[in-house]
Every structure is written in C-alpha cells, then in structure tokens.
Amino acid sequence: MATGSEDIYEALKGVLYSDSAINGEAVGLAMGLVMLGTGNTRALEDMITYAHDTQHEKIVRGLAMGMALIMYNRQEGADELINGLLDDADPTLRYGGIFTVALAYCGTSSNKAVRKLLHVAVSDVSDDVRRAAVMSLGFVLFRKPGAVPRMVELLSESYNPHVRYGATMALGIACAGTGLDEAIDLLEPMMKDSVDFVRQGALISLSMIMVQQNEAMNPKVGTIRKTLQKIISDRHEDAMCKFGCALALGIIDAGGRNCTIGLQTPTGNLNMSAIVGMAVFTQYWYWFPLTHFLTLSFTPTAIIGVDSDLEIPSFKFHSNTRPSVFDYPPEAEVKAEEAPEKVKTAILSTTAHAKRREQAKKRQARRESMDVDMTPTTPKVESSDKMDVDDNVIDTAKLAEEKGEAAPTEGSTKKKAEREKVGYDLENMSRVLPAQIKYISFAQDGRYQPVKKPTGGVILLHDTKSSESKSLLELKAKKKTNNAAAAPVVGGSSQQDTPFTPARQTGDDALAALGFGAAAGVGAAAASGVLNAVDEDVEGGEEAEVPEEFEVEDEDMADDE
C-alpha cells in the first residue's frame, strides 16, 4: 500500500483488461491502494479511459474508488480530476468524484470542499451520489467534530432515506471515539427510523462514537448497549438492521476494549491507513467483506515506554483520577438458558361453552339448596372502654433494625474509601485512553522520564540512572512445552523408536508405532502381557514374564493330519 510500484501496477492492469466484473472491481481498488497519494497522472488516464470503455458497473465503481485513493491528501492538486468526474454523465463516476473530494481534502475543514459536497447532496439525481456527498462531510470535518452535528441536523430529517443514512455515517466518522452528546442526540431517534438501512447506519455510527466509553464518561452507554443486545436477539428484526447491529457490537468493544478509532495520530497528523480503511469500509454497502478494512482505523490506547535500547523497562506512572472514571465497561450479563414453558392445551369454543353452562347449573342448584342466615353484627367498642396506651413507648426492635441499617460495617467503609480514592499508579504498557492522557504524570524523582510530553502510544524514555542495572518488563510469551515422556511399554520398545505417522498403516505397523514391538507379540498375547504385568513402583515387585506367542495352524495342515 502506498508504495507506487510500477511493476505491481502493470500486473494489476493486465488483470483489469481481462474485463471480468468481479476481478475488475478488486483490481480498481488495488491499483488505488498501490498508488495511494501519489497522484500518478498516467495511472489516472488509464483508469478513466477504461472506465468509459467497459460496460461493467462493478469495474467502474472499483476504478472510481481507486482514482479517489490515488488523490489522497492532494487538495488543490485534485481539483481538475474532481471537476471532470463530477461533470460526468455516469453516476458511478460522479460517486468516485465525491470520494475524491473526501480523500483529497480529508481533515482540512476546507470551506470550498464543504460547499461542493453540500451542493451535490441536495441537487444530484442519483441517490448513491447524494448519500456519498453527505457521508464525505465526516472525512473533511473530522478534526472539528463539534461542527458536524449542526451541519447535518437538517439533512438527518430529509425525506430521502439515503441522505439520512449519509448523515448517520458522517456523524460516526467525524465523531468517532469522542462520545459527543450532540451526535448521540441526533442518532438516537434514527435507531427507530422506518427504513432498515438508516437504522443500520445509526447503530454503526453510535458504536463508533461510543467506543471505549463507560458509564462514568457517558451515562447513555448502558442504554445503548442494552438496545444493541435487544435488536440482535429479536427474531423479527430486518436482516440489514441486524447486520448493522452485529457490526456495532464488535466496534463498540474493538480490540477487547483496548482500541479506539483514530483518523489522526495523537500528535494531530493524518493517520493515512486509518482514513483509507474507513473510506473503503463504507463500500460495504456494495460488498460486505469490505467491512474488514475498518480494522485499519483501530488504534491501540496504551502508554508503552521504551528506553534508548528500545527495551521496555518496568516502571510506574501516575493517573490523577479515580480508577472507575476510565475503567473497562462492565461485561454484558449472559442469562442462563431457561427451560421452555409448557404450552397450554388448546380448548375448543364448544367445550368452553359446555363447561360454562355446566358450572352455571351447579351454582343455581347450590343457591336453591342453601338457607341464607343473617350475618351477626360485631358490637362496637366505646371510647371509654379502650385501653390506655403510652404513646412514648419506643419500639426497641424497630430501633435496632434502623441502627443496624445506619451503621455500616468497618470493611464496607474501607472498600468505599478505596474505591473513591483519587489517583492511582499504572504499570508500563497499561491501557490509557486519549481523554486520560492529560491526567498522566511521571514522578519527578523517578528513574525514567519521557523525552517529550506524553501523547500516548510509544514514548521514548530518558534513563536518569543509566549506570545502574535496569529491570525489564517480562513479556508474556508462550513457552515451549516439552513432550510428555513415553510410557513404559511391555517388551522394551518405546514410542520414540517408532514415531507415529498419520499415513495409513497395516495392523502390525500400527501396533509397532504405538510401542508394541516384536517381543511383545500381537493380539491376545500383547493384551495378556499388559494385564499380567506387576506394578514396578511396588517395592519387591517383579515384572511378569511375557507369555509365549500362540501357534496358529493353517487349515490345510489340519486337514492333512
């Protein structure tokens, strides 16, 4: 990717000219990925020419995305290509022109690019082009996530479902990992949209915004997680919406909740692989396996300190927050499977009528046979006869209960104090969220100090006590397990002498491979030898002798005798 290799490009062009629809779409993307950001004029001319000549829409779409990738971060250098593609009569090439705007001006917040995208979003006759135009706003404005909700607020209420879907994805791309409340407020009602793919986009975007968020950072996380679990388990939900929900559940817990989506590096530069991965991910609309490109956008959230030898020393740094603020979100509770309830037996209406008539007859018969007596009245107690009660008496039992509830145990107070304690230490290579970086500090008298202000990720450390021996962090790698010792075999042959191969073997070969040599005999002789063997671990025990082999006579010899 981004190598600009002419040899690879020529090989891909040879496959493109075979005019296969499936191969051509993949080749178009591949050519763009190889020439990523180079602005290669010859490659662009070849791709535009073939896109006009071919009749396959898949090939045209692949080439359109490939041209957009070639113009990554070219800004004004891509304007000529953009104008040519947007004026084309083919809507697929106009679609490529929109993504060329998105990738050429990604992260620039360019007013010219935003105006062009908004104009196409409300004027183009193709739903695909309008959807891509609204979606591309997220790429251009991802460095200013707070501006996107206000810009797409009206578009999110459009009558066109494709425009609404584009608005959801623009919010997800621009506000990924921020937990922005304004974006969440726009997306929540769209989870109940009447169109299935709009709900799909809302679910995916919500998960992209909520990645690595917990209840302390955003109280709506729990509700959204429950909604995702409910949708994925609903048998009557649309397949497209359930697909988006399945993706959302994976994105919100990306990398075991140790990754976030970062289209820019911690220092503020463009993250090329993340932007390209996100752009190709949006093409899952046409071919769902392209969802895997989203993994290019995942960025690990950790502080990894290395010294001048690029070794990982063992040291601690301080986080001036409560542990619960940036802790892992709680895992979803898995309910135990309940036994299916017994289905009630269906009762016919005629049977029910007959039972009701029979019960009515029985009630009528009981009324006629009963003698009704007047119910005796209970005499009222006069106020003068009431017992005098002291109102000041204290209920000791109730007081004891209240006292027991009000007085917590000593252990619970200690736990509460530990939980609410502000500030805690973290080991090197610990999970640190981007929002947590500003609370991280290194001890002034510590041995290891960062060379520059920590921004997350890999940090170069200065060893203030380089003359002393250093303690390195033990990396948890898989240790090689030794093979188990061969068990003692009757007859003295071991399994190591005759290694077992998975090839098909005869009966004698299989027994030999399992350790039964010639001395052990075969068949009943070998079995009797094992059964009669004396335990060698017992003191004074002797190994039983191996019985002699059975002599088998041929039938011909028996007949001769």
Sites in the chain below the pLDDT cut of 70: 332-343, 347, 370-420, 476-561
| Torsions phi, psi for 86 (to 5 deg) | -70, -25
CB 448 within 8 A of CB 462: yes
Q: Which domains does the chain have, with CATH numbers?
A: 6-300 (1.25.10.10), 301-329+422-468 (no CATH), 489-536 (no CATH)
pLDDT digits (tens, 9 = 90+) for 428-449: 888 888 888 888 888 888 888 8
| Torsions phi, psi for 546 (to 5 deg) | -80, 125
Q: How far apart are CA 226 and CA 107, in angstroms?
A: 33
CB 25 within 8 A of CB 58: yes
348-360: burial string, b at 16+ Cβ within 10 Å, e else:
eeeeeeeeeeeee
Amino acid at 425: D
Given this model, what pLDDT does residue 177 score? 87
Given this model, what pLDDT does residue 519 score? 43
Element of type H or E holding 203:
helix 196-209
Structure tokens, 59: 């090939």
Given this model, what pLDDT does residue 489 score? 46
Given this model, what pLDDT does residue 485 score? 46
CB 179 within 8 A of CB 213: yes
Given this model, what pLDDT does residue 236 score? 87
